[in-house]
Structure 1
Amino acid sequence: MITRDTDAFFALARATAADFGPATARAAFLVAPDGFRLAEQSARDNAYMADAAAFDAARASAQHRDLQRAVSAVLPTVCFAGSPDTPDALFPNNVFGTAAGRSIIGRMRHEVRQCEAARSDIRAFFRDVLGRQEVDLSTQPHPCELTGALVIDRARGLGFCGLSERCDEAGAKLMHEAFGLRGTLLFDLAAGEYHTNVVLAVLAGRAAVVCPAGFAEPSVAAAIADLYAPHAVVCDAAEHAAFVANCIALSADTAWMSAAAGRALSPAHRATLAEAGFRVEAVELDAIEAAGGSLRCCIGELF
């Protein structure tokens, strides 16, 4: 099922068992922020990006290494080299995704990011080293920026796809099929939002972090929160702005976010995550956040 009908989707979701596959990834991959600078094309529809003067390449590189070192304590984490030609490449989850036995390559909206999809080394890693079947969506015309646009409950095989200039309905259908999902809900993001994973996270199929202001219809956000209640964090404006929803579960008991997000997370919401079985792990990423993304954007998942 892929639908805009919230009643039909949530009826399916409530009847769906958590037996689709592992709830969290087996390993993670990163791409180093080599050539880190303002990507002017991406800035056209990413309101979270700072001005060029706020970019500190050396600090971003050091923080990215800290991120890899921290995440490596929880699961195997590899890092590919970046390139001065692709300043957004440190956010690889938009371009490369995985499902059981498959690697999926997305279609990026902006030309500067389309170059990332052509990387032969990352493609070869999935295809030749890991033996994955390649599903290449990068050459068709519909934007579908993978797990930036599509938040997936991996335990149930359910997708939540926010439509914007970074993903249209045709692109959403292609991703639904590529990931082999049981059901995907389509909805519009609010004006000014570019990716769903900035305003929504599903943590190991047990909890959700939702920013209602990021949805064109707040009722959709409320329905998602209700699906994961009582383990639903509904972010206020400060938490939204600090990338609290750009978080990820990398193990059954850890929820990862940037240090700025961790500081913004209210005590009540931290308690909600603890009740769901998650301790919050945080890494300082302020230099990286100047590029309009945060911790979850940096993490590619290997399922």
Structure 2
Amino acid sequence: MLTRDTATFLDHARRIDTDFGPATARAAFMVAPDGFRLAEQSAADNRYMAEAGSFDAARASAQHRELQRAFAEVIPTICFAGDPATPDALFPNNVFATAAGRYVVGRMRHPVRQREAARDDIRGFFGGVLDYAEIDLSTQPHPCELTGALVIDRARGLGFAGLSERCDEEGARLMHEALGLRATLLFDLAEGEYHTNVVLAVLAGRAALVCTKGFADPKVVDTIAALYAPHAVLLSPAEHAAFAGNAIALSDDVVWMSAHAGRSLTATSREALAAAGFQVRTVELDAIEAGGGSLRCCVGEIY
């Protein structure tokens, strides 16, 4: 099912069992922020990006390394070298995604990011080392920036596809089919939003962080909240602005977000996450956040 109808989606999703696959990834991959700097093309439709003078490549590299060390305490986490010709490559989840036995290469909107899809080392790792089948969407014309545009409930096989200049309806359909999802809800992001994973996180299939102002239609927020009740955490505009929605669960009991996001959490949000069985762990990522993304954007999941 691929639909914009929130009532139809909710009715269908409520009847789906949590037997699609593991709720969290078995490993993670990252790409080092080598040559980290302002990418003018990406800045054109990413209001979260800082001015060029705010980029500190050395600090971003140190923070990225610390993030990998933290993740490695939970799951195996590998890091590929960066490339100064692709300054946004530290956000690899937009370009590469996996499902059981396959990997998908996305179609990026901006040429500076389309270069990332051609990396032979990452393709070789998935195809040659892991022996995953390849589904290459990078050469077709419809933008589909994978798990930036598409937030996935891996336990149920559900997708939440926010449409913007980074993902159109056909791109959403291609991702839905490539990842073999059972049902995907299509909706428009609010004006000024570029990726769904900045405004929504589904945590281990049983909870959701929802930035209410990130959705054009409040009915979509109501639908997601109803599906994950009583563990739908509706975030305030301040939490949203601090990237609290750009979070991830890599295990059943921990939600990861940047230190800035963690500091923004209200007592109510923390209590709601605790009630859902999650502790909050954070890593300082202020230099990386200058690039317009935060912790979730740095993580490619391996299923």
**Above 0.5 in TM-score?**
yes
Deviations 1:193-227 (A, max 9, x none): 00000000000001000011110112211210121
Higher mean alpha-carbon deviation, 173-182 vs 264-273, is at 264-273
Aligned residue in 2 for 1:105: 105
Aligned residue in 1 for 2:37: 37
Helix, strand or coil at the partner of 1:88:
coil
How far is the alpha carbon of 1:229 from its aligned partner? 1.0
How far is the alpha carbon of 1:131 from its aligned partner? 0.4
Q: How does 1:41-56 map to 2 (within 5 A)?
A: 41-56=41-56
Deviations 1:164-210 (A, max 9, x none): 00000000000000000000000000110000000000000010000
Distance 2:8 2:276 in 1: 26
Unaligned runs of 5+ in 1: none
Q: How does 1:133-282 map to 2 (within 5 A)?
A: 133-282=133-282
Aligned residue in 2 for 1:85: 85
Does structure 2 retain, via aligned residues, the 8 Å contact 1:212–1:222? no
Distance 1:222 1:184 in 2: 16
Deviations 1:97-148 (A, max 9, x none): 0001000000000000000000000000000000000000000000000000
How far is the alpha carbon of 1:295 from its aligned partner? 0.1
Does structure 2 retain, via aligned residues, the 8 Å contact 1:28–1:299? yes
1:57 equivalent to 2:43? Answer no
How far is the alpha carbon of 1:38 from its aligned partner? 0.2
Aligned residue in 2 for 1:293: 293
How far is the alpha carbon of 1:271 from its aligned partner? 1.0
Does structure 1 retain, via aligned residues, the 8 Å contact 2:144–2:175? yes
Helix, strand or coil at the partner of 2:256:
strand
Higher mean alpha-carbon deviation, 101-110 vs 269-278, is at 269-278
Does structure 1 retain, via aligned residues, the 8 Å contact 2:6–2:219? no
**TM-score when normalising by structure 1:** 1.00
Instruction: Give the letter for the 1:156 counterpart.
Output: R
Unaligned runs of 5+ in 2: none
How far is the alpha carbon of 1:232 from its aligned partner? 1.0
Distance 2:139 2:249 in 1: 31
How far is the alpha carbon of 1:28 from its aligned partner? 0.2
Helix, strand or coil at the partner of 1:86:
coil
Instruction: Give the letter for the 2:150 counterpart.
Output: L
Instruction: Give the letter for the 1:57 counterpart.
Output: A
Instruction: Give the letter for the 2:209 counterpart.
Output: V
Does structure 2 retain, via aligned residues, the 8 Å contact 1:14–1:227? yes
Deviations 1:245-289 (A, max 9, x none): 000000011100000000001111111111111110100000000
Instruction: Give the letter for the 2:239 counterpart.
Output: E
Deviations 1:69-96 (A, max 9, x none): 0000000000000000000000000000
Does structure 2 retain, via aligned residues, the 8 Å contact 1:150–1:159? yes
Instruction: Give the letter for the 1:264 counterpart.
Output: S
Instruction: Give the letter for the 2:67 counterpart.
Output: L
Distance 2:36 2:130 in 1: 29
Instruction: Give the letter for the 2:124 counterpart.
Output: A
How far is the alpha carbon of 1:163 from its aligned partner? 0.1
How many residue pairs get matched?
A: 303
1:24 equivalent to 2:24? Answer yes
Structure 1 segments of 4 or more deviating over 3 A? none
Instruction: Give the letter for the 1:52 counterpart.
Output: A
Distance 1:226 1:15 in 2: 13
Deviations 1:24-54 (A, max 9, x none): 0000000000000000000000000000000
Does structure 2 retain, via aligned residues, the 8 Å contact 1:285–1:295? yes
Helix, strand or coil at the partner of 2:250:
strand
Does structure 1 retain, via aligned residues, the 8 Å contact 2:10–2:227? yes
**TM-score when normalising by structure 2:** 1.00
Identity %: 74
Aligned residue in 1 for 2:5: 5
